[in-house]
C-alpha cells in the first residue's frame, strides 16, 4: 500500500489499490464483518460501516476466540482505516482553508477562523503548535487530581478488575478503567443508570 503525505494527514496514493491490498491481507476478518453485518464488498462507499463493524465485533456472540485488540488482523485493519479516513479529514481542511482564503480577501484572518483550522490539523503542524502554545498558560484545571491515588489504584487493579465496585467490559475495558483511575484520584464522575454509558 503506497502512502503519501498530502496537506497534513497521510493518505493512500491510490485508494482503490489500497482496498485490494487490505482485502488480500485480512480476507477472513473482512468476511466475518460482512456476514455479521450484512455488508457488501468493501468499497469507498461502505468502508466506514466496516470500520464500525470491526469494533462492534468485540461484543458479538460470533466473535472469534482470538479476536482482541492485539489480534494482528485487527491491528492491520485498524491501521488501514486510520489512514483511509484521512482523505476525508484532508478534504475538510481544504474546504476550511478555501473559506478562510475567501474571507481574508476582504478582512484579516480572525482568531476564531484560525482556531478552527488549528483544531482540524494534526498537533504536529505549525499552526496547531502555535495554537497549543498560545493556550498553554491559560489552561485551568477543572478538578483536583491526586496522582498518588491514581497510581495506587492503577497498580492495584491493572491485572485484577475491581468488579465488586465497577462493571467490567470484557475485551475492551480501557476507557472504563481510565475513568475508575480518575474517579479514585478525585475527579468526579457523571453516573448513569445504564452500565454501558
Confidence band for 3, pLDDT divided at 50, 70 and 90? very low
Window from 1-15, 88-102, 164-178 with minimum mean pLDDT: 1-15
Find out whether 158 and 176 touch, Cβ atoms under 8 Å: no
Which uninterrupted H or E stretch holds 82?
Answer: helix 72-84
Instruction: Calculate the average pLDDT of the chain.
Output: 80
Whether residue 185 is predicted with pLDDT greater than 60 in this model: the reply is yes
What's the distance, CA 45 to chain centroid? 20
Cα angle value 162/164/165 (rounded, 5°): 75
User: Is residue 185 classed as helix, strand or coil in its secondary structure?
Assistant: coil
Find out whether 6 and 90 touch, Cβ atoms under 8 Å: yes
| Model confidence pLDDT, tens digit, residues 140-179 | 555 577 888 888 888 888 888 877 777 777 666 677 788 8
* Pairwise CA distance, residues 13 & 191, whole Å: 45
Confidence band for 109, pLDDT divided at 50, 70 and 90? low
Whether residue 42 is predicted with pLDDT greater than 60 in this model: the reply is yes
Cell of residue 136, nine digits: 498553554
Cβ contacts of 47 within 8 Å, gap of 6 or more: 19, 81, 84
Q: What is the mean pLDDT of residues 9-29?
A: 90
Cell of residue 77, nine digits: 485493519
Window from 44-48, 57-61, 128-132 with minimum mean pLDDT: 128-132
Which pLDDT score is estimated for 37? 93
Find out whether 83 and 3 touch, Cβ atoms under 8 Å: yes
* Pairwise CA distance, residues 25 & 46, whole Å: 18
User: Is residue 179 classed as helix, strand or coil in its secondary structure?
Assistant: helix
Q: What is the mean pLDDT of residues 57-77?
A: 90
Amino acid at each position: 500500500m503506497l502512502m503519501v503525505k498530502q496537506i497534513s494527514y497521510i493518505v493512500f496514493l491510490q485508494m482503490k489499490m489500497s482496498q485490494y491490498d487490505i482485502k488480500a491481507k485480512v480476507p477472513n476478518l473482512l468476511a466475518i464483518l460482512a456476514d455479521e453485518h450484512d455488508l457488501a464488498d468493501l468499497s469507498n462507499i461502505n468502508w466506514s460501516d466496516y470500520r464500525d463493524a470491526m469494533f462492534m465485533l468485540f461484543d458479538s456472540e460470533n466473535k472469534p476466540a482470538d479476536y482482541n485488540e492485539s489480534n494482528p488482523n485487527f491491528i492491520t485493519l485498524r491501521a488501514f482505516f486510520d489512514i483511509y479516513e484521512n482523505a476525508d479529514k484532508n478534504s475538510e481542511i481544504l474546504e476550511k482553508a478555501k473559506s478562510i482564503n475567501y474571507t481574508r480577501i476582504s478582512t484579516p484572518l480572525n482568531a476564531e477562523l484560525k482556531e478552527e483550522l488549528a483544531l482540524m490539523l494534526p498537533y504536529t503542524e505549525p499552526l496547531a503548535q502555535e495554537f497549543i502554545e498560545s493556550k498553554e498558560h491559560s489552561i485551568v484545571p477543572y478538578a483536583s487530581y491526586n496522582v498518588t491515588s491514581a497510581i495506587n489504584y492503577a497498580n492495584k487493579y491493572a491485572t485484577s478488575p475491581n468488579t465488586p465496585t465497577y462493571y467490567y467490559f470484557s475485551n475492551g475495558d480501557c476507557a472504563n478503567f481510565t475513568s475508575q483511575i480518575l474517579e479514585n484520584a478525585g475527579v468526579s464522575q457523571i453516573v448513569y443508570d445504564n452500565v454501558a454509558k
